[in-house]
Structure 1
Amino acid sequence: MILDKGKKAAVVTLMNNGDGGRGSLPRKIILTEEQLCTSQMNHHLDETIVNKAQFALETGNIQFYEASVGAGILIEPYFPEARLIVLGGGHIAKPLAEFGSKVGFLVTVVDDRPMFANKDRFPDAEKVICESFSNCFMQLKLNESSFVVIVTRGHRHDLDCLQQVLKYKTAYTGMIGSKRRVKGVKEQLFSEGYPVELINAVNAPIGLEIGAITPEEIAISIIAQVISYRRLVSTSSDNTASVKVNWPELDRPVLEELSKDNGDPKALITVISTIGSVPRKAGAKMLVWPYGKILGSIGGGCSEGEVINTARQMIGSGGLKVQDIDMTGQIAEDEGMVCGGIMRVLIEDYHG
């Protein structure tokens, strides 16, 4: 998959709606980040679509609009899953892995000591690798969705890790250490010929300046800085202006099922916009089969059940429908939901 390589992509769905919001089977076009940046596309797309696709990849916001009467355009940005790579399994790594997992990162922890690199110590980590810092990078496969935090137990290991990390293009790189220690590492890298701009891009000393003292406080300062790199993208050369990025939902099991292209009849449900407090964000997906099987969720409850019923009725129709799910007022109260918003979903008959 494109996402596994750390790259972004956009899926453009061209819809021709008929009566009642139904219409012919939509046409889907996949646009990679490289295609949108270089305009090297084989598709003859309207300039408005290209511009909105570029905006979707920049901000992570789904674009849905009517191109003309009876015709709609849905542009879905897909971001790779953000990975927090923690190099070092010491006292700071433990709360850092916990906090990173809670805020939505897939966490990998690396240490060369079995007593520090194990799942009992890091239950929230997706992966725990017990390997030397010089040999672990083949397993890590760093890319542009990797957020790397270097918190090893010593100056030598920090330098070894940083030398390896700088070979890759990552979303974030930070290294712990005092100003004196960090200065020494940077001076050595300068002497070894590493580019100045590459070294200066390393966040060292690491974390936001909040006066942190305890391991938990230090972990919070680090994860806060990592989040800022995930959520804010600079829009100017001097980094003074930035745009907030809405990292879209990614339902990997649903995408993997769709990629099988086995042609079995089913319906695809996608949350295309939300207002207020809702259980899932725009981009959330689920699949519905005619015999009752479902994969994924858009939030559960009676409101989801209504959409599932609509989806089952549409299987085999070759059509689509846009439907609102109202979670405000009495509906939310009756179902005991803390939500109080509205979700708009696209329901498609999907044959692969």
Structure 2
Amino acid sequence: MKKQPAAPTHDSIRSGLVVEGQHYEFKARLNLDEQRGKSNFIDDVVAFLNAGPGYLIVGVHEKKGAFERFEAMDGDRDAMQRRITSILQDNIDPKPLGVRAEFLELDTGGFILCLDLPDHRLRPYQNKITGGFYLRTGAQNTPIPRDQLHALFTPLEKLEADTVQLMERENAAVEARDIMQNNGATLHIAIVPQEHYERGRTSFDPGRTVLKVMRHYHGESRGVFRGCDNGDEVRDATFQEGRSVSRFFIGDDWLVHSYVAHPFSVRDGEGRLTINEFHAEFARHLRDIQLILDDSGIRGPFGVLFVVKNLRRNSKLEWAFPNAGFASLGRPMRVERIDEQRLIDRFYDKVRGVSVYGR
């Protein structure tokens, strides 16, 4: 993770400690009512998002990149913040998260705007108005030709292909070892983090004096990680109150794979499929994985792929899935966090859609 530069202050701007460069940009004013002014503003933001953290400071006249004078802004701060957020969300792809508008009050009245642009990882970011890609290089915004994007950023196509390959490889390895139950439905999760492509990343540490656990990562003592070929794995009873068995794997190269046997069950005496319980357990499982990634300093973007297979393999469940024998997201997705609620809900809707409870 790139270090966030120091937040600008009146004194640091006036004294010249903050000057235009890789992490700071001055703008005298902001004109969001004209298309050209709005597009230029988006270009500035896109350039910072593609290069790393920085601050776009509005209300400062500069001379050779250093402070010359303030030009006070006025108006409703909350309304301005909402408008800026809306413009960025609507006109940048992918949508940037965590951009904050901060205001520095001036002694002479009014304020200046400091747009805090923390490190974003879902690169490359694009100005949707012009279709342009920009990169912050020193104090300049450099246009990036499309044919050079692949050299600067891990292509989305490669992330997708590697995620599919990971799932196929680890599923085959699990089945070859014959370590999982094979008489019912199975849930498969593949995760490829950006760190997989970055050299020098320390591999996962399963713990030494106190071994790390998987389920409810910071709480329970079950599910201890143990070494295996090319990484670490943990096998444990997880979904459906311990009625299913899972195998969770973290590779030395930070490829992540989860295999859950029997993610669903039929309640004895009720004849009810535990589809709602699956929703909650699936969300919990992804949050546990995200906790491990957070604890290890592994950040997005992540390529993720979820699939439920063999829905009709067990005669006790066959009736519950009359529409299809599997459910998936269709293709890998690139996300900033794997426990995003929209991602969880989207996959749950896919699974429910092929069940008797689907439309």
Do both proteins adopt the same fold according to a TM-score greater than 0.5, normalized to the shorter chain?
Answer: no
What TM-score comes out, normalization by structure 2 length? 0.23
Compare CA radii of gyration and give the structure with the larger one: 2
What TM-score comes out, normalization by structure 1 length? 0.23
